[in-house]
Amino acid sequence: MRRTISILIAALAFGALIGPAFGQQDPAAGPVVVADVRGPLDQRALNFLTEAVRTPDAQVVVIQLNNAGISSGDPAEFYAAVASTATPVAAWVGPAGAVAYGGAAQVLLAADATGAAPGTRVGYLEPVVVGAELPGVLESLRDPQGLDDSDFAVTETEFPLLIDAAVPTIGQFIASLDGKIVGGVTLETAREIAAEDGSTITVPSVQVRFVKPGLWDRFLRLASRPEAAFFFLLAGIAVATFEFYAAGAGVAAAVAALSLFLAGYGWATLPMDWWAVVLAIVGLLLYTWDFQQNRLGLGSIAGTGALLIGGLFYTNAAPQYTPAWWGVLITVIGIALFYGFALTTVVRSRFSTLTIGREYLVGKIGTAETDFDPEGVVVVDGARWRARSHRAAGLGPGDPIQVMEVNGILLEVGPPE
Domain boundary among 350, 370, 395: 350
The answer to whether residues 270 and 313 belong to one domain is yes
The answer to whether residues 40 and 159 belong to one domain is yes
Domain boundary among 179, 213, 247: 213
Distance of CA 415 to the CA centre of its chain: 54
The answer to whether residues 175 and 282 belong to one domain is no
Q: Tell whether 14 is covered by a domain.
A: no
The answer to whether residues 205 and 309 belong to one domain is no
**The total number of structural domains that make up the chain:** 3
The answer to whether residues 180 and 264 belong to one domain is no
Q: Tell whether 166 is covered by a domain.
A: yes
The answer to whether residues 57 and 139 belong to one domain is yes
Q: What is the pLDDT of residues 346-398, one digit of tens each?
A: 666 655 544 445 677 888 899 988 888 778 889 988 888 888 886 556 788 88
The answer to whether residues 281 and 392 belong to one domain is no
Cα distance between residue 311 and residue 230, in whole Å: 6
The residues, any chain, with a CB within 8 Å of residue 348's CB and separated by 6 or more, are: 409
Q: Which CATH number fits the domain that encloses residue 39? A: 3.90.226.10
The CA-based angle 372-374-375, given to 5 degrees, is 65
Q: Tell whether 1 is covered by a domain.
A: no
Q: Which CATH number fits the domain that encloses residue 385? A: 2.40.50.140
Look up the domain containing 370 and give its range: 359-414
Contact indicator for 132, 103 with CB cutoff of 8 Å? no
The answer to whether residues 82 and 222 belong to one domain is no
pLDDT tens, per residue, the chain with 417 residues:
444 434 333 444 434 433 333 333 344 468 999 999 999 999 999 999 999 999 988 999 999 999 999 999 999 999 999 988 888 999 999 999 999 999 999 999 889 999 999 999 999 988 999 988 777 775 545 555 678 788 899 998 888 888 999 999 999 999 999 888 887 788 888 887 877 777 777 777 888 999 999 999 999 999 999 999 999 999 999 988 888 776 555 788 889 999 999 999 999 999 999 999 999 999 999 998 888 776 677 888 999 999 999 999 999 999 999 999 999 999 999 999 988 887 777 666 655 544 445 677 888 899 988 888 778 889 988 888 888 886 556 788 888 988 888 887 788 888 887
Contact indicator for 60, 31 with CB cutoff of 8 Å? no
The answer to whether residues 81 and 129 belong to one domain is yes
Domain boundary among 303, 320, 350: 350
Q: Tell whether 4 is covered by a domain.
A: no
The answer to whether residues 339 and 250 belong to one domain is yes
Q: Tell whether 259 is covered by a domain.
A: yes
Q: Tell whether 2 is covered by a domain.
A: no
The answer to whether residues 31 and 169 belong to one domain is yes
The answer to whether residues 255 and 137 belong to one domain is no
